[in-house]
Amino acid sequence: MAYNLPPLPYDYGALEPHIDTETMQIHHDKHHATYVKNLNAAVEKFPELKDVGIVDLNKSIGTSKIPSDVATAVRNNGGGHLNHSFFWQVMGKSSDNNGPSSDLKAAIDSAFGSLDELKTKFNAAAAGRFGSGWAWVVVKSDGNLAVTSTPNQDNPLFSGAEVAGVPILGLDVWEHAYYLKYRNLRPEYISAFWKVVNWETVNNYYSAGKKGSFSIEPSRS
């Protein structure tokens, strides 16, 4: 089965003025679509990969389960497909931003001291990622929260990730995610991101992550 580009869960302009309509159109319809196209091309010659779900595929990256001939292509494009599918879900209209649940807030307070301190650490990870990559909040195997960042289209599900865990929040800091509106001012984009976080979705990811579960399976055809 082929991997498919999932539709956005909202209109292209739903995140205005924080993330602009044109950026969302290009980011979803061009960049994400290209990752899906290239991933399908990479696994086409390896039947053992064609029926693997995108989460299990990402968990296999960095292991011998991915043939060496396509390891780089699967890493870049399989990571890109999962990361973007997740990214669209953890954002929403500003009016839907109700904050973390009491359960998640308690975990945030325990790990970071406060939501503001989490934001400070997350913002630093996002701003400090040299070149292209992502910033993440993850649930580690011990159940505690951590902030991390990854290069390119890597993510914390990969085998051998520097900080492994189940993602509950992620931010794309590739320039194509923000350059049309924010130019070279990445910190302004990072600050604006908090205004469009869909905390209901993040709360759900946290509830699943505590059990070691992560699911973001776009449709296959």
Residues annotated within a binding site for Mn(2+): 27, 84, 172, 176
> What SS3 state is found at 114?
coil
For residue 119, which of 99, 139, 89, 133 has the smallest C-alpha distance? Answer: 99
Separation of first and last alpha carbons in the chain:
5
Contact 118, 111 (CB under 8 A): yes
Using CB atoms within 10 A of its CB, is residue 179 exposed (0-12), middle (13-18) or buried (19+)?
Answer: middle
Contact 177, 83 (CB under 8 A): no
Q: Alpha-carbon distance 56 to 77, whole Å?
A: 14
Residue ranges for the known binding site are 27, 84, 172, 176
What does the buried/exposed string (b/e) look like for 66-105 if buried means 16 or more CB atoms within 10 Å of the residue's CB?
beeebbeebbbbbbbbbbbbbbbbbbbeeeeeeebbeebb
Contact 5, 218 (CB under 8 A): yes
